[in-house]
Structure formats: structure tokens, C-alpha cells
A and B are shown apart, each in its own frame.
Chain A
Amino acid sequence: MTLVLQLISLVGKVSTVLEDAYLVVGTLASSLEQDFEPYITAFLQFLFPALKAHEDSQLCTIAVGIIGDISRALGEKTNEYSAGFMQLLSENLQSNALNRDAKIPILECFGDIALAIGPAFEGYLDHTMNVLRQAGSITPNPVSARVRVQRKALTHPPL
């Protein structure tokens, strides 16, 4: 873990290496589960900048995924960090710089956090539900639906 953190701090903005390093952390969290906790504080100072890198949507998506991994790994203990997570995730959702596709994992991440902290999610409930309702009210535009049908016809010809 120390090595990975050193790596992250050394590579600076070379994002391919960064991405892989973050993925390693995510996997570590998933496999260490509760034992991951000692590393969290050290890791968060690297994770938060990545989350704020709105112009690099790839990295941002990975960072969001890692929050999910950490939440699942820590379970209830996520509660201590969830306020920070939720704050940053909400900022990301509102950001204009961030790619729209990168916002979808954030919604899933809300679910992961809720699952991890259980009833303690109460404080974020109304806000989250508002966001989800807004997201849910988006309807596909008819043109793209038609294109999709055509594409489907091309790739899955009727037998």
C-alpha cells in the first residue's frame, strides 16, 4: 500500500499510471475488507484530488468506483467518511466540466454508500432522492431510439 501511495504521489499527472494505481487500491480494498481501514486516511488525500479532476473523466470515474469499493469493504465504518464522500460526489454531479457519462457511476455509488452505512444514510436521503428523481425524469429522445432499433436490426438480424 505504501508503495502504491508513493507511486501515486510520484507520477504526478501521468494519468494512465495513476488510473492503474487507483485500480490497485480499489482491488486491495475489496480483498482486505475491514482491514483496509488503517490505510484510508492516507489514501483519501490522494483520492479527493482525483475526484475533483473533473476534466479527466476517466480518472474521476475510477475514483468514484473506488469510493464504492471502500464503502463495500468497510461496511458500517464508512459512516465516518461518508459525509466527505457525499459532499464531493454531489459537487461532481453538479459540475459542468464533468462528462455526463461519468455521472452515472456516481448514482450507483450513492447506492453503495447507502448499503454500507444503512440507516445512517437518513441525512442524505432527501437530497439523494431529489437527484435520482431528476435523473429518472430524463426520457430517451425519439431519434436516438430509432437509431437504436436500426442498430439492433443490423447487429441482431431476425432469424
Chain B
Amino acid sequence: MSVLREGILEAYTGIVTAFKGTEQGMPSSQLTKPVAHSVLVRLLQPHIQDILELVKAALLDDNHGDPVYGLAYGIIGDLADIFGTQIKPLLLQDWVAAELKSRRCPPENKQTMRWAREVGQFETICVLFNDYFCLDGQTCHGLSIVFQFSFPLTSRGLFLLPYHTYFTGSTFEIAILLSTLGSLYLLPCALFVDGPSSSGVSSSIPLLRPGSTFFLTSSVQSSCLLLLFWFESLYQSSLYRLNSNPPPPLHRHIMQSFYPCQAVLANGGFAYHQFITRPFITPCHSGVVLHRLGCPISQPRP
């Protein structure tokens, strides 16, 4: 069954991509004929429902392997990219959002998921900290940690920011966004954002596309303390589970602000694991992640 679905999804992916007419991998003749392109896309339109039905069936079935889910997410992303607002009602169905938020999967699917989320209704920030990371009072040098925050537009708290204002445009704007976030708690933020510049990108194409994870390298500790606090709060909460001690109030507060978020921890760009703050991460998950990061963790005190 998995193999069959994988085959069908492969075929859909090929066809959808063929008709997509994006910049990459497209016959040059196509680019000069935008009218012909829109006709092609219209040909595809009657089939969207069928495609999404299959994607749904595949995603809701837990027996499939990761390649199936990866393809399914990819198709959602492609369709959203091609049709944009035209198929918004279809993409806003509950199962799409639930799937994009909940699924645990390996790195490559993560990328595809991120892509689907971006062109859909979800926002993502990736931050890579170099050379500064604090766990349990220890500073670990040379660690590269990617935080990925993804939250639906409906999320509460700090991140109710207008999508189009901040997530499209140049890296500069994202730097502003991050410093804004930082300054909610801590002040003057000096951020150095090193990433693909995307000046001139129109509002429908967010900056962060697959493969263009943008990096925020910061030797300035204060700039990212908010994010660090949040990670620490996750860590603390896992200690909390182990020790039955309540986490410090500040951490608890921050955790609440981030309540609907999830994050991915990674080393060198490869995602290892997914944290979900709700209700608490389990101690073993946290241990696994930290261990794989090569970070000497002190064992939680009994």
C-alpha cells in the first residue's frame, strides 16, 4: 500500500511540477509565454481535489514510511505555490494545519514541511547560533544550533505579527523582526544576519525557502537571549519532570508565551528532533537531543 501511494504521489509530484512553470528547471520557451502557462495551470485545477484527497489519505495513515509523507508535504507546498489564494479554502481545512504542525519526521521531510508551511499559512524563523549556547550554566563553544519556530497565524502572544510585514522582503527586514523580538525582553540588539539576500521578492514568496535557511550568527549574547531563555525553559521543564521541582517563574512565563510553538534543534543544519512544548517534553527526548549535539550535559540531579 505504501509503495502504491508513493508511486501515485511521485506521479502527481512530477505532473504538478511539470505544470508549475517555475524559474528553475523549466524550459526557457515556457518563460516567454506567461499566457500559455496560466492555461496549463487551469488544466490542472479540476484535479486538485483528487490530489488533495490522496494526500490526506496518505497523511492520515500512520503505516506509511517517511518518503510518502515527504512527497505529500511537497505536493501541498507546490499546490499552494501555484494556486495561492485560489485554493485557500482547501488548504485551510483542519487536517492540513494539523498535519503540518504535528508530524515528527526526519530532516529532509522537515525541509519539505517547512516549505509547505511557508507558502501556506504558517510562519517559520530559523536561527543559528554560533559559538554561544548556554545550558545549565555552562557555555559550550563551537556549537551550531538551529532553532526553528513555527507557529500558525492564530497563535497567541508575542508572535501575533503581521505576516506580510516581516516575512517577506530582504534579510534586513528579518533582522529587524528578530531585533524587535529580542527587544521585547532585552535591549539593544546587535544582530548580524548572514543569509541569502532576496531583494525584490514579491509578497507571496516568503524569504525562507527550502535550502535557504538563513543564519543568524551572533557573538552578541544579549541579542538572542529571548530565544535562549525559551530553550532553557524547555530544558528546565524536562528537569522539572525529572525532579518534580517547578521551573523558575521567568521560564514558566516565557514558556506560556510560546505555548503553541514547536522547535527543532539541530547541529550543523541537520534537524535531529522536534520539541513540542505541550505539555512538557519528556526527559528522554531532551537527553537524546543534547547528547547528539555533543554537548556535555550534566545529569539531572536526583
Q: Which of B13, B15, B50 contacts A125 (CB 8 A)?
A: B15
Min CB–CB distance B29 → chain A (angstroms): 9
Q: Kindly state the separation between the CA atoms of A114 and B54 in the bound complex, as whole angstroms.
A: 19
* Residues from 16 to 50 in B contacting A, C-beta threshold 8 Å: 17-19, 21, 26-27, 30, 36-37, 40, 43-44, 47, 50
A80 at the interface (CB under 8 A from B): no
- Flag B47-61 by CB within 8 Å of A: 1 or 0 each: 100100110010001
Cβ-Cβ contact count across A and B, 8 Å cutoff: 94
Q: Kindly state the separation between the CA atoms of A115 and B300 in the bound complex, as whole angstroms.
A: 53
Interface size on A, as a range, is 20 to 34
Min CB–CB distance B171 → chain A (angstroms): 32
Q: Which of A108, A112, A122 contacts B43 (CB 8 A)?
A: A122
Please name the residue on chain B nearest to A149 by beta carbon: B63
Q: Which of B13, B36, B57, B63 contacts A111 (CB 8 A)?
A: B13
- Flag A33-59 by CB within 8 Å of B: 1 or 0 each: 000000000000000000000000000
The answer to whether A119 and B27 have CB atoms under 8 Å apart is yes
B186 at the interface (CB under 8 A from A): no
Interface size on B, as a range, is 20 to 34
B1 at the interface (CB under 8 A from A): yes
Min CB–CB distance A81 → chain B (angstroms): 16
Most chain B beta carbons < 10 A, residue from A109, A115, A119, A122: A119
Q: Kindly state the separation between the CA atoms of A108 and B71 in the bound complex, as whole angstroms.
A: 12
Please name the residue on chain B nearest to A75 by beta carbon: B27
B210 at the interface (CB under 8 A from A): no
- Pairs of residues from A and B, 7 with the lowest C-beta to C-beta distance, nearest first: A111-B14, A111-B11, A107-B7, A104-B7, A114-B18, A136-B54, A108-B10
